[in-house]
Structure 1
């Protein structure tokens, strides 16, 4: 399928594009603010639209309500004029129709889109998303979790009013949108997990106390803990890295503890790499993976998917460091020395051949490779 993805450069849009790239062969046409004026042309030849673009917060209530309707109007006009995109998956909200400016805007946008889609004989899938959290969320915009993560990293203590909230990790939200490409249902309600606001804050403080001083991995015994920890460590990247590992030396040699984990699964492996060779060149959707050079000299490179900047971290067995790879970042390691490079890898879960969560992608696309 050829899919037009609106809001592609935002929080949910990036994760949805990442999941489409990893799990499907669909051609994706990403649309953000800069491409919005070209919407009618971009829509030509598309089989479906995933409409994520929206306004969560603005300077006035009218901008929130009107902004969501205006975006729907623009997409509806393009659908009507082109007569294409017979399926539209709409990233709606459980707040639709709750009487708030945001809720009114999302509800009105759904009506606008449904009229346009039905007018060309198509099918609208209304995906009603709850509170979403995850890696690279914007503080004070996408969710209270993103705000809590930012405050935790900064060492701030916000005022917290506790209540129970339904939370859905952004990759699960993205999967609900992908499911909308094939379902015959008109409405989809992904089921969130319910957690207390104070509970979320307390978990983040637990993660910080464990992870920030020494790189110790916290208890990862539940999916929610893994998702929240991935969210937290994404906010630490790249400033917190590399993690300095401490050699304990005596006349016999040195002992270096590379990973300490408080709970959950875990698997350790190692590789040898001859000079000039690169390993890795892949990304993950949820896996926590640590690289630590034990012997030799190497370079670790990382690039956030759908961006161009490459971050480089030198590593040596003489001064051991570790890098924990963020979700959705392509990564590799290259032997830049004259001797065999020995690298230890740790993952928070056991390797499962039927679901490896490893997707091939070069850190540096071919056009960037040195001659």
Structure 2
């Protein structure tokens, strides 16, 4: 599947690009704001692609600017579509459930949908109305209340509930799967299953996760939204809050280290040995919670966010065991940096399923594209 995107640098755009990477599809063609100013550049980007996703939009700001911005972005893409000699087979608009609700934002989204439908002659038009999206690396005080609560908790504060209303929460990977029409794989669900909860209940749920996790313990992860909300919270902790210290008790008999204390849900623990100089891992996960604890030897754990260049490195030593929980959508590996055999304990939140491994090959040193 050859895909083109507007808004590739935004919250939803990044998650779409990560899912494309997991699917093994070609890197998407990015239509950026500079391209949108030139219809010929847009036409060149779109020529021959299977699917263009219009994700670019204005969500916050002065109401007049929001309204004008969403319409202008749709008009810019429409001009490029009309000039494209080999238009995309499918044009997908990331619309909102607020479309047409009488607000400047909602009405501008409805207008944008009509503009694209009119311009996409010869292409299938798919209008996807998205509810409240949440997920890893959302922008607090902009993308969603979930991101805001997670950031406040990560900074040691308490979420403030100003209005307790019902939310329909959909994880952004599920939204990306709907937009891409991705084949089912178990990790994502293009049906966009929603968690219906109140703002106050969401704040209490996330606050509970934070209180448990400050002790390096795992909160109850009983369903897919538990796991994904917890992963969303963890994304706001990384890398500043890692490694995490573990309780350690020593006496004349030896040392006891409490490596995993899980408060509910499935799980699997396993150990591996690694010879000097050898690297394990070199992959990323979309949903799996994975814990590394080195028990003997020395190692370096390296991680890189998908689509980014910066590598985060943690030196770890079995003489002083610590926790490093792998953030989702970050490539990661562990290398034995010592002269002796390395012993590492791993824990994941679910029993390994070879048919649905949620493991996607990517080396930490892979040259990133798309920023």
TM superposition score category, shorter chain reference? over 0.9
- Shift of residue 265, structure 1, vs aligned partner: 0.4
Worse-superposed segment, 142-151 or 306-315: 142-151
TM-score normalized with structure 1 length: 0.92
TM-score normalized with structure 2 length: 0.92
- 2: CA distance between counterparts of 1:149 and 1:130? 19
Q: What's 1:285 paired with?
A: 286
Task: List, as ranges, runs of 4+ consecutive aligned residues in structure 1 with deviation greater than 6 Å.
Answer: none
1:117 aligns with 2:120: yes
- 2: CA distance between counterparts of 1:157 and 1:178? 34
- 1: CA distance between counterparts of 2:65 and 2:159? 30
1:58-69 maps to which residues of 2 (within 5 A)?
58=61, 60-69=62-71
Q: What's 2:14 paired with?
A: 14
| Aligned partner of residue 318 in structure 1, secondary structure | coil
- 1: CA distance between counterparts of 2:81 and 2:159? 47
- 2: CA distance between counterparts of 1:366 and 1:149? 30
1:189-200 maps to which residues of 2 (within 5 A)?
190-200=192-202
List runs of 5+ in structure 2 lacking aligned partners.
185-189
Q: What's 1:49 paired with?
A: 52
- 2: CA distance between counterparts of 1:192 and 1:366? 35
Q: Alpha carbon RMSD of aligned pairs, Å?
A: 1.8
Q: What's 1:92 paired with?
A: 95
The alpha-carbon distance between structure 1 residues 293 and 12, as it changes in their structure 2 partners (threshold 3 A), is same
CA displacement, residues 105-156 of structure 1 (integer Å, 9 cap, x when unaligned): 11111011001112xx111001111011111111111111111112222214
CA displacement, residues 290-327 of structure 1 (integer Å, 9 cap, x when unaligned): 11101000000000000000000000101111111111
1:166 aligns with 2:168: yes
| Aligned partner of residue 120 in structure 2, secondary structure | helix
- Shift of residue 189, structure 1, vs aligned partner: 8.0
The alpha-carbon distance between structure 1 residues 180 and 264, as it changes in their structure 2 partners (threshold 3 A), is closer
- 2: CA distance between counterparts of 1:181 and 1:101? 35
| Aligned partner of residue 280 in structure 2, secondary structure | strand
| Aligned partner of residue 261 in structure 1, secondary structure | coil
The alpha-carbon distance between structure 1 residues 180 and 36, as it changes in their structure 2 partners (threshold 3 A), is farther
CA displacement, residues 145-176 of structure 1 (integer Å, 9 cap, x when unaligned): 11111222221441432122111111111111
The alpha-carbon distance between structure 1 residues 250 and 33, as it changes in their structure 2 partners (threshold 3 A), is farther
- 2: CA distance between counterparts of 1:352 and 1:31? 37
Q: What's 2:136 paired with?
A: 135
Residue pair 1:245, 1:256 contacting (<8 A) in 2 also: yes
Q: What's 1:101 paired with?
A: 104
- 2: CA distance between counterparts of 1:330 and 1:70? 37
- 1: CA distance between counterparts of 2:27 and 2:342? 38
1:350-365 maps to which residues of 2 (within 5 A)?
350-365=351-366
- Shift of residue 85, structure 1, vs aligned partner: 1.2
| Aligned partner of residue 219 in structure 2, secondary structure | strand
Give the total of aligned pairs: 358
Q: What's 2:30 paired with?
A: 30
The alpha-carbon distance between structure 1 residues 248 and 35, as it changes in their structure 2 partners (threshold 3 A), is farther
